[in-house]
Chains A and B, each alone.
Chain A
Amino acid sequence: MDCEYPLDREKQESEVDPMERIENHPILGETPERRKVTFTYNGKQLEGYEGEPIATALKANGVMAHRYTAKTHEPRGVFCAIGRCTDCVMIVNDMPNVRTCITPLEEGMKVQTQYGVSAEPDKEAM
């Protein structure tokens, strides 16, 4: 079957302006210092904080679409942010279906957009 995923790599990564982090909050005060780590997103090096959800680090880098669905190839991203809806799953360290909203970011993690259950947009999901 022909691939129906968007093929233009630049476009599929759906990057918008990076989302601002909250460094000082009127009620919660200053955000504690955390260690910066680097990870790759579709091969590109990005920075995030150790231990924060992968999804948060991606958001801070302007990544909105985490995956494209198997049947209709729709983009999906964070929806519930607490690991229930499983819409934010991505391929992390070569494992598909990892819930990025509750999986802590680690140094050197390999994060990839998930197409169906595959890392390749041209591989038709079964």
Chain B
Amino acid sequence: MNGVVLPVVLPLLAAFLMQPLAHKSGVTARLLGPLVLAIGLAMLVQTWHLAQTDPFTVTFGGFAPPLGIVFYVDRLALIFAIAAQLFTLLLWGWSMDAQFDGEKKAREDALMLLLAASATGLALSGDLFNVYVFYELMAVSSFGLVVLKDTGPAQIATLRYLLISAFGSVIALLGIAFLYAQTGTLNLAQLGELAPKALHGPAGLAAFAFMLIGFGVKAELFPVNTWVPEVYAVAPARIAGLLAGLISKLAALVVLRLLVVVYQDTPAPQLLLVLGTLTVLVGDFSAWRSKDFPRMISYSSIAQLGLVFIGFSIPGPLGVLAGLSVALHHLLIKSGMFMLATRWSGSLDRLAGCAKSAPVATGLYLLFALSLVGVPPMPGFWAKLLIMTGLAQEGSVVYLVALGVVLLGSIVKVHYLFRFALKLYGRADLPPVRHSLMELGPAALIGIAIIAATIFTVPIGERLRAVAEQAADRDAYISTVFPDHKTAAVSEDRR
């Protein structure tokens, strides 16, 4: 059971050893990364059965939870940990270049491994400061991956991204500091235990707002997402796919954990709802105005993240289920879309007539677009339906406004996605663009996954519902971390 740390630790080890190894044997170094990720993936999949009925914890150094760091392993965490390893593997840079630079490749592989390790750790961690450290690791390695292309615009975009990130980190650190000052602990479960007394006042909610802004930088939340279109336009497309698909979801997962464990039954979800609604508006309308494919899909990714946050702000298991299904759906679709963007990196006009020259890619685009818009049998429809029912059930004015915005966003989305589809089927006046097999392969795999999800909607929905119910259960979280509740008594005495 304690082997769950290995998918986090082994990639770190491999990353540390990557450069010395690349000097000795280039081939081994190039194979090391995928191998380590595959091992981690296999271990996490095996763990799935252990967490099937009850979540469990992994402690570090033999120190019981409030003293030491703890990993909380439930199915929600495992889904994202598996996704972290799987998608890093799927979007791995299999460089086939003739002028191959072994040293640069080793550095890139090391950064990919660090990204995978930090994403896995972020999904599993049950300690707030540990989350912060992994979040920083994720940020720093993503800077390196974005600047990989080594062009002037990429450097400028990275610099601006870095500044916003650094500001967000300071804000998140302040939020964590305020939580610590009010409770004296960093363990999420203990924070949840103390929250009703200590944290549901204005100062506690302010701490939440700080952390929301801080972690919202990576989660593409409204006021701090100006970096998104810039970075996704200049980063290598598979890195953009990884950032938009995987990394943003992990940041959203942190917010979800905070919301469920610490801030249940407070006004905190309303703040999230407002910001999420604004994010949807900004994302969809900017996507509608954009003139090139990479930026269109990056704005659309902002809108989807807004939907995820709207979902999470609905209280109870239904909200978790709605947000989770949008998040997983978007994780698949956006990774696929950005794989298509490796070649379709130009303006929308330049891509006219691609349907003839690249029928497979166009077909995949149509599939993704249909699901993103939410055409009935596709999984995207069910995800959106869940959000809308949840919002309608809540019934208060804010939620109804959000419902209206979601509908409006959908209409705008239909327009811009299919405007581009029509263009693809239009007349070609430029030489055709063809994808290589390495680029189309992952996209095709994702397409198959989407079709499979359409066919098996019912069993997948059942599983997800169980996951969401497990994740939304605050008491289960606390009693898993503190089986004997001794610490609760201790903290009672101290107050």
Q: Do A and B bind each other?
A: no
Question: Residues of B with Cβ closer than 8 Å to A?
Answer: none
Which residues in A have some Cβ–Cβ distance to B below 8 Å? none
